[in-house]
Structure 1
């Protein structure tokens, strides 16, 4: 009897020790998770990555699935979609019933140009997702990928700009020299879901980036009233859709409408579709257009740069991931103008009006 009691006490002690070790792991992992989540919200992906990797050292813990899902998000933001896929697979080991990870894997394969794999994982997501709205968005994304399959699989161009491709499709417009400096109104969005006070700063930075890239060919000044503007930018929570030339509607983070000027356009006049701009209005969504979650600072800056490019005359899109004027969203884009973006705007405004 005494031996049996000692065995029970030993077993109980081991359980208590194991429970204490597990609790220690939970506390240690959680200690890194909270600042990591804050860093993600602030767009500090490198900081978040380091914190989450520290938290992952405590695997397995009740937080392991969340940690690896967040690592996947961070690695994708950092442009490492291959590593993001590995983190998603690890997350599934800890959370096998969390099928939403399939959506992230689909996004990562899209980044890598592996369209068939992207579609396969997105279809897995639609098969298991119960939310009708989320399922519909995933199906919409699949349709976009199938529509863009050839463009996404195209090799990277060695052309220094994409003006010729724009001209071929009648997608070049331009402001007259007499319109300079362009009067830009940047609205505010207090009270809108997801809006932050620094959003107008990103919009200003976007226009300033294009002006600098033009080497002085473009000039912009801020005005206080929309009725005094040549270009008006406003924020919205409404879903935005842009219509392609073939009639397909695509969900968008931002949209720009341009009106032609009344005077004749004398540049690129071999193509009557290339007209002078008289006014442009930009609308940018304050939340992610697919997930409806908060946008990161980089998301907003990238969207502002893209839509400002349209408002300044780039009516179409680049077919290559690294350009800010790429037709879709890509983690290979930095929130900055590429060399090809800069070269394109210079060529547009180098010609005489």
Structure 2
């Protein structure tokens, strides 16, 4: 055996051993990541998958698992990017489609999410019979999550599920802002935000809607609360908005009779700071819109009444928001 041949043989054996070691390491890391993923330890799982990716950058399943972790952590843009990379490398699979749907739903894009779930069922027809898949599709078809109407029309009245206005004799609405004894120092700030939100809607309605503050909940038609407990404001159709409202309707005409709005102002008792004022105002505007009778959402991300937190939505009513409330209260009142 000549020297050149000998070194080629040694080199090939070394490379084979290195590739085996690399593949084994990646497999171990991926297995550890899957265990953490099943245990819902998504941050640790993501670390494992990213480490494995350094050894096998073209492994489409790793990219899919990374997308799954990002989706579970609420990193929806990162999830979509990772899943697109997985599809680019390994082709289209039903699992990628399902994860893509979840990430898009998290971004407040139910129409696109529904398309991806439908695609998952086409790729793997057995999924169409799965009760969980059927429930997810039905939920995305719900008008509350998937508003009708055009995002470019002057208003979104036609796409609403229902309209539950207050009666003319209910004006001015009696509003009470309740002080949270656990967060007394935030009361004045929250009161200011509520007043700004209510005044925006009143002005947008052409002053058909009006309100006044009252000293106690007994005489109030609309009560506002604020909290540092996000679990009190969970919503399966308004991701990221951090607010919730409960309305009581009159049976005879389905007009609004009373309401209560709760808004998260701090992400937990131990959070280092309160939420940004602009974010709180956007949430207050959105929940006030529901309380004034908008039962449903806008399909346009620039509107306050879009179904999820959106970077395009500003803490100010859009022209479409204003047109919608004005039309609602312009009609003959009962």
CA distance in 1, matches of 2:258, 2:200: 20
CA distance in 1, matches of 2:332, 2:169: 12
The 3 A distance-change label for structure 1 pair 193 and 287 is farther
TM-score by length of 1: 0.53
Q: CA-atom RMSD, angstroms?
A: 3.9
Is the 1:322–1:334 Cα contact (8 Å) retained in structure 2?
yes
* Deviation digits for residues 136-160 of structure 1 (CA, Å, limit 9, x no counterpart): xx99974843884425899972201
CA distance in 2, matches of 1:118, 1:305: 34
Matching residue of 1:277: 256
Matching residue of 1:150: 111
Matching residue of 2:167: 176
Matching residue of 1:164: 158
Matching residue of 1:253: 242
Is the 1:253–1:288 Cα contact (8 Å) retained in structure 2?
no
Q: Please point out which of 56, 61, 77 is paired with 1:109.
A: 77
Q: How many residues align?
A: 215
Gaps of 5+ in 1: 1-98, 122-137, 266-274
Matching residue of 1:212: 203
1:276-295 aligned at under 5 Å gives the runs 276-288=255-267, 294-295=274-275
1:198 matches 2:189: yes
CA distance in 2, matches of 1:194, 1:148: 37
Gaps of 5+ in 2: 1-65, 86-98, 116-145
TM-score by length of 2: 0.55
Matching residue of 2:91: none
1:311 matches 2:279: no
CA distance in 2, matches of 1:144, 1:157: 17
Which consecutive aligned stretches of 4+ in structure 1 deviate over 6 angstroms post-superposition? 118-121, 138-141, 152-156
Is the 1:213–1:345 Cα contact (8 Å) retained in structure 2?
yes
CA distance in 2, matches of 1:118, 1:309: 36
CA distance in 2, matches of 1:196, 1:139: 41
Question: Shift of residue 286 of structure 1?
Answer: 1.6
